[in-house]
């Protein structure tokens, strides 16, 4: 999420970095943008205090907070999947990165989520976390565990 906020603020354009890092896509790298956003919030906090940092975050994240208020389950598909599955058995779903490709600054990940020996879904993303979330979304849509629910 930090990366999206940093991109919206165009923080990458204002970062000082070496030519090699810039040539390797450093201005658009998710980790760099996320770190720069966190540093900006920290700077606001140090300069203006907690309230200034809080107001900044609330302004920048307003759309995300509204989306959470509208549909909180849609924001955390991994948590929703875990709740559904743990109602059937105590084991948690397992997320496994099964493939990654692309240059270091722009990786693509493929994640598989399974539970109790059943592959529930696969998802892709530009980060491992994004791939896991997308795998959980696919799993929630497929509901591959429903056949177990009837016999459990």
Tell me the domain boundaries of the chain: 2-70, 74-151
What was the pLDDT predicted at 26? 83
What's the rounded mean pLDDT across residues 60-89? 81
Say whether domain 2-70 belongs to CATH 3.30.565.10. Answer: no
- The reported pLDDT for the residue numbered 125 is 92
Residue 152: pLDDT band (50, 70, 90) is very low
- For residues 65-87, give the mean pLDDT: 80
* 66 vs 133 pLDDT, higher one: 133
Per CATH, is 74-151 categorized as 3.30.160.20?
Answer: yes
* Kind and range of the H or E run holding 43: helix 30-48
**Percentage of the chain lying above the pLDDT 90 cut:** 45
pTM across the whole model: 0.54
Q: Indicate the pLDDT class of residue 120, thresholds 50, 70 and 90.
A: very high
Mean pLDDT, the chain, as a whole number?
Answer: 87
CA angle 32, 51, 70 (to 5 degrees): 75
pLDDT of 43 above 90: yes
Greater confidence (29 vs 152) lies with 29
Residue 146 — pLDDT band, cuts 50, 70, 90? confident
Q: Per-residue pLDDT averaged across 47-74, rounded? A: 84
Q: Tell me what pLDDT residue 149 has.
A: 52
């Amino acid at each position: 999420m930090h990366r999206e906020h940093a991109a919206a603020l165009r923080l990458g354009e204002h970062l000082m970095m070496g030519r090699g890092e810039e040539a390797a896509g450093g201005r658009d790298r998710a980790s760099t943008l996320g770190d720069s956003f966190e540093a900006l919030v920290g700077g606001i906090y140090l300069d203006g205090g907690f309230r200034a940092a809080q107001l900044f975050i609330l302004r920048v994240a307003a759309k995300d907070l509204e989306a959470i208020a509208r549909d909180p389950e849609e924001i955390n598909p991994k948590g929703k999947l875990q709740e559904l599955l743990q109602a059937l058995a105590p084991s948690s779903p397992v997320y496994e990165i099964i493939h990654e490709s692309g240059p270091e600054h722009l990786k693509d990940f493929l994640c598989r989520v399974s539970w109790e020996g059943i592959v529930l879904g696969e998802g892709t993303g530009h980060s491992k976390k994004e791939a896991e979330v997308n795998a959980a979304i696919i799993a929630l849509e497929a509901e591959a565990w429903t056949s177990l629910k009837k016999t459990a």
